[in-house]
Amino acid sequence: MDSVLIFCYLYCFVFGCCIASFMNVVVYRLPRGISIAKGRSFCGSCHHMLHAIDLIPILSYVFLKGRCRYCHAKISIRHPLIELVGGLLAMLSFAHYGFSLMTPLVFSLAMVLMAITLIDIDTMTIPDQLNIAVGVIAIISLFVYSMPLASRILGAVVYSGGMIAINFLKEESFGGGDIKLCIPLGFMLGIVNMTVGMFLAILVAGIYAIILLLTHNTKLQSHMAFGPFICGGCLIGLLYGGQLATSYLRLFGL
């Protein structure tokens, strides 16, 4: 690996950590109705305004030993982990698409999906603002990479429509946010990649639900956040959907 490529990966990691640090702000503020565009970052415990030295991704957490500089309250380990994941996702996007417009587009989608995942886990809701953000990215994708329009339309309609139909059979099987999320994701991914993504989402969600039932951590009638599984499955579908679909068909000799 030459020095230029090493620099690119390092740049992607640092940039990704910084963007993910901002997504921490989004995850905290959006469900609380706090503007993400105005006001400096502050400690969630003492509400003291944070300075630049307190906001260095990952490093500030390490140097401060996981505690607020001002009130010494414990900082959740989730914050630096999100920043680390952001850096790794930026590197993955670059490794997969290289010097193309798909790299920032896919990374942007990954960051929005990460915010959706965390908010859905915390609140069991998906903010409309983030679904709109996915929609904007999906529209931009029309000009960035080629995907048959028919495939996009099918991807947008099939699974969102399927969720609506299932809700008629069993009320509140899927949340409105999940249904809305599948529309722009399906439009961006197309029917093949979306099918792979939803298959993975349903498979992993089913396994997780069985584990919860077997460990008595939930009841059969309980609801769980499905958004994180949609986000994870569809991101994998976007990156590797074609290869996974081809491998699956070959497995059965098709």
Cβ(234)–Cβ(198) below 8 Å? yes
**Residues 135 and 116 reside in one and the same domain:** yes
The last residue of one of the domains, among 99, 119, 134, is 99
**Residues 74 and 147 reside in one and the same domain:** no
**Residues 113 and 226 reside in one and the same domain:** yes
Burial class (CB in 10 A: 0-12, 13-18, 19+), 228: buried
pLDDT at 221: 60
**Residues 122 and 232 reside in one and the same domain:** yes
Query: Of 105, 193, 112, 204, which Cα lies nearest the Cα of 156?
Result: 193
**Length of the chain in residues, anyone?**
254
**Residues 59 and 171 reside in one and the same domain:** no
**Residues 77 and 89 reside in one and the same domain:** yes
pLDDT at 219: 65
pLDDT at 46: 85
**Residues 90 and 200 reside in one and the same domain:** no
Spatial distance between the Cα atoms of 229 and 211, rounded to a whole number of angstroms: 15
Q: Which residues of the chain have pLDDT under 70?
A: 1, 217-222, 253-254
**Residues 85 and 107 reside in one and the same domain:** no
pLDDT at 38: 79
Cβ(25)–Cβ(122) below 8 Å? no
**Residues 180 and 203 reside in one and the same domain:** yes
**Site of tokens 């960035």:** 144
The last residue of one of the domains, among 99, 115, 145, is 99
pLDDT at 136: 97
Spatial distance between the Cα atoms of 91 and 83, rounded to a whole number of angstroms: 13
Spatial distance between the Cα atoms of 222 and 208, rounded to a whole number of angstroms: 13
**Residues 81 and 115 reside in one and the same domain:** no
**Residues 93 and 195 reside in one and the same domain:** no
If one counts the domains in the chain, the total is: 2
**Residues 19 and 111 reside in one and the same domain:** no
55 lies in which domain range? Answer: 1-99
pLDDT at 120: 95
Tens-digit pLDDT profile for residues 128-144: 999 999 999 999 999 99
Kindly state the tokens that stand for 227: 């958004």
The last residue of one of the domains, among 65, 83, 99, is 99
